[in-house]
Structure 1
Amino acid sequence: MKAPRAAGRSTPKPAAPDVAQQLELKPGQSIDLLKALHILTRDGKLNQDSRRKLKQVYHLYQFIEPLLTELAAQDHPVSLADHGAGKSYLGFILYDLFFKNLGRGHIYGIETRAPLVEASQQLAADLGFDRMSFLNMSVADSTRTDAVPERFDVVTALHACDTATDDAIAFGLEKRARAMVLVPCCQAEVAACLRQNKAMNLARTPLAELWRHPIHTREMGSQITNVLRCLYLESQGYQVTVTELVGWEHSMKNELILAKYTGQKKRAAAERLQQLLVEFGLDQSLQHRYRLD
């Protein structure tokens, strides 16, 4: 028989390391930060939506952390631009897990929604994350502003919608980024072009059957867009890896494009890019996006 619990004695709360272990947090992760980002509730719990967001960011961190470690060698102050930052989940967690203890480097969060930028600025100030800056502007505008450095080491774009991912690539090329980590979101530009030329393409090639139905048009538009992006990055001297971000049960926008600069521009990639633009009738509409040297 169990001994009766002493009157007035309550069960002690788990210590912070136990809570972190139960929640499967990474070592050194600030619980206060996760609460401030509303990933954790006030009593330190995760709901299903927050667990999905945290899993995505952690999985992305696994790809970014080795890049940062390599770049940080020999006291290099790593610079990172996070495009379409939103509430800056990724930027804050990168800072908390890597930049904070590194003692150098800077993260720039770029976002078009002013209230989110202001909230991120306040949170960074409250936490003492003094090497974080937040800019209220579009990805395209950030390429032309003097508010960011002339060069960046890493460019990230997590679920940047439609052509914002292309703008992030253009930003990375302009800033001579040593690595780009991209998770494309909704994509409409190529699908619109396919719809516009559908009748002509159906008469021209049997391949147009691949996007004759509206749902296929959307899917083909997304697929073609990411293939063109990968070929473009390869043509500009990047080694490209394409993989899953997380399991499909967590997000349908699941493609992760990891590009690392090698300086070896692939002529074959440039040629295939041009051939695909012509084959799908996109050469006139999208030539401005893929400027080949």
Structure 2
Amino acid sequence: MEIYKKPPEFKELAEKWWTPERLKKIMGDKHYTITPLNAPLLLRTLGLLNSDATMSPDNLKKFIQINHMFNLLEAHFEDLLKRHKVVRILDAGCGKSYLTFLLAWYFKEKCKHPAEIIGVDTNTKIIKSNIEKAEKLGFQDVLQFEAASMLTYKWNKETRPHAVIALHACDTATDMAMAFAIKEKADFIAVAPCCQAELARKWKEIDKNHPLTPIYQTPQVRREVAAHFTDVLRICLTRSKGYEVTATEFVPSTHTPKNRLITCVRRGNYLDSATQEYTSLKEYIGNNSITLEDLLENNME
């Protein structure tokens, strides 16, 4: 792509195109960390800006989404920046890594603070593409990618990861990321669960005399309700391991049903009441465990 051969020209093109009027049209009165003016090469590399520096309606949605997500998390990253000389972050199930690249830009270009960010995914093609993008942007000193499963991934850095994020890691992949983060005692965890189907599969086998049988026997309702219960069980388990947990909506439900963001801040104290809540809730819905519980039992001392 020509942009990589002549980045100064593209930057100038973006500066000419994105007038204050055009910026206001896409941003309104909102404050976005990343814009077509302060990071045109990054947005172009991620495919969010066209070759003429314009932005299509579909890419505008993604642009708004990643900025909104970052705004929700920025205070936590600022806290890590203040506490650690080198901030270490793992993106589990990184996919195309929109947020991962934004974080690399944030620490390297905006904050000029040392960071080591690793994106992990089982898709080798996506990992290869991400590595190429990082090289073209000159982010190799901040950003790395590895093809691996979170079930077998080993953290080989000098210190533990300070933050673990997992955005739209499907089904039990979210549990794997959370179990890894809890085991490593990460300061901060952020997950946006996706396709929580584990409980729904187990509920199909529940005794028909159970009080929740009407839910279990209605496939669409079973899947939706099971997803909510899965996340509540995850919250209880994470709280029991010493984390303060918050669940918020990060994208309006009119855009996508996959809109729950769970953030966890490590406080260091185990919470017996949360363990009791988890046990009671699990028993009430049929005594089925979730993968996060199984992984924590195997990995935690």
User: What TM-score, normalized to structure 2?
Assistant: 0.84
1:22-101, aligned counterparts within 5 Å? 22-24=25-27, 26=33, 29-73=38-82, 76-100=85-109, 101=111
1:288 has 2:298 as partner: no
Instruction: Indicate the SS of the match to 1:258.
Output: strand
1:121 has 2:131 as partner: yes
Q: Distance in 2 between matches of 1:222 and 1:269?
A: 19
Instruction: Indicate the SS of the match to 2:282.
Output: helix
Q: Distance in 2 between matches of 1:157 and 1:27?
A: 20
- CA shift, 1:23, in A, is 3.9
The answer to whether the 8 Å contact 2:81/2:113 transfers is: no
Residue identity in the other structure for 1:124: A
Q: Distance in 1 between matches of 2:34 and 2:69?
A: 16
1:1-293, aligned counterparts within 5 Å? 14=16, 16=18, 18=20, 20=23, 22-24=25-27, 26=33, 29-73=38-82, 76-100=85-109, 101-129=111-139, 130-142=141-153, 145=154, 147-148=156-157, 151-197=160-206, 200=207, 202-203=208-209, 205-283=210-288, 288-289=294-295, 291=297
- Change in Cα spacing, 1:154 to 1:128, as seen in structure 2 (3 Å) is same
Q: Distance in 2 between matches of 1:222 and 1:94?
A: 29
The answer to whether the 8 Å contact 1:274/1:283 transfers is: no
- CA shift, 1:264, in A, is 2.4
Q: Distance in 2 between matches of 1:285 and 1:127?
A: 40
Give RMSD over aligned pairs.
2.2
Q: Distance in 1 between matches of 2:230 and 2:283?
A: 14
Residue identity in the other structure for 2:243: Y
- Change in Cα spacing, 1:153 to 1:138, as seen in structure 2 (3 Å) is same
Q: Distance in 2 between matches of 1:35 and 1:274?
A: 48
Q: Distance in 2 between matches of 1:96 and 1:146?
A: 23
The answer to whether the 8 Å contact 2:17/2:54 transfers is: no
Structure 2 residues not aligned, in runs of 5+: 1-14
Give identity over the alignment, percent: 29
Residue identity in the other structure for 2:175: D
Q: Distance in 1 between matches of 2:148 and 2:74?
A: 26
- Change in Cα spacing, 1:258 to 1:137, as seen in structure 2 (3 Å) is same
- CA shift, 1:15, in A, is 5.2
The answer to whether the 8 Å contact 1:193/1:285 transfers is: no
The answer to whether the 8 Å contact 1:150/1:175 transfers is: no
The answer to whether the 8 Å contact 1:211/1:220 transfers is: no
Query: Which has more radius of gyration?
Result: 1
- CA shift, 1:26, in A, is 3.2
The answer to whether the 8 Å contact 2:170/2:195 transfers is: yes
The answer to whether the 8 Å contact 1:179/1:261 transfers is: yes
Residue identity in the other structure for 1:193: K
- CA shift, 1:283, in A, is 3.8
Number of matched residues? 275
Structure 1 residues not aligned, in runs of 5+: 1-12
